[in-house]
Amino acid sequence: MTDDMAQGEQRAQNARRADRIAFVASPHEQAQTTLRKLSECYGGVPFDDADVVVCLGGDGFLLETLHRVLGRGIPVYGINCGTVGFLMNPASDGDLREKVRKALPSVLHPLRMQATSRSGERHEALAFNDVFLFRQTRQAAKVRIEVDGRVRLEELVCDGVLVSTPAGSTAYNLSAHGPIVPLSANILPLTPISAFRPRRWRGALLPSTASVVFTLIEQEKRPAAAVADFTEVRDVIEVRVQEDRSLETILLCDPDHALSERIIAEQFTA
């Protein structure tokens, strides 16, 4: 068992021993209806007093919740009340506490983005899905890519480029034709978005320890924005991305709906 798995299992055990549940729900009607129903059955405690957070909504709201619990050591159990809900557990009848006790933990580490804008301002943000650059105008962006201090691609002409976590590899990364990566692989996909030159470049698989630097070429003529989950920085000139192993959060999944299994199964979906 890896250190991540052991730590995740310990936190999951803490959740299984406790009955103190905090409920958070997106504003959508289905999530709010489910919130009222579960609150009547199980009560609920304030967020800061909880041993486990039950998140009601879709993947976007779950990402917000993961950011909210980061550093608190509180596992999150998601129930799908949204559209896709890839990271969520399906809504079903049954004892919620028993489901939490039986849930399997997945340890997630965020990417840390450090972006510098043309004005000289520096911005930091974390991402559990991905960090990506995207052109702001009709003209393609030009990006130099450096990995661990070595220039690997002198000039990528593209709509954008992204670095994904394994958990986020089935999201924007997959839509951009990037590879799906198992949670245990310790690999970060680096994927171009509509690459124009070099036209046949399909990206790379990097070790999770890699430090990636994107430098914007012709920044004034070809402005680009950088995005880390739901944080956006406009007019960037340089963006640094690296996984932050000092931070983690625990996602709880039903045994028959484990996140690692869903990621593998997604590779066999037509």
- Binding site for NAD(+): which residues? 59-60, 129-130, 159, 167, 170-175
C-alpha–C-alpha distance, residues 215 and 57, integer Å:
36
Could you please report the per-residue DSSP string of 68-126? HHTTTT--EEEEE-SS--TTSBPP--S-HHHHHHHPEEEEE--EEEEEEETTS-EEEEE
Give the residue numbers of the binding site: 59-60, 129-130, 159, 167, 170-175
DSSP, collapsed to helix, strand or coil, labels residue 182 as coil
Residue 59 a catalytic site member: yes
DSSP, collapsed to helix, strand or coil, labels residue 10 as helix
Phi, psi of 103 (to 5 degrees): -65, 150
Catalytic site residue from 59, 93, 148, 256: 59
Strand 122-127 and strand 111-117: the pairing is antiparallel
Please give the positions annotated as active site. Answer: 59
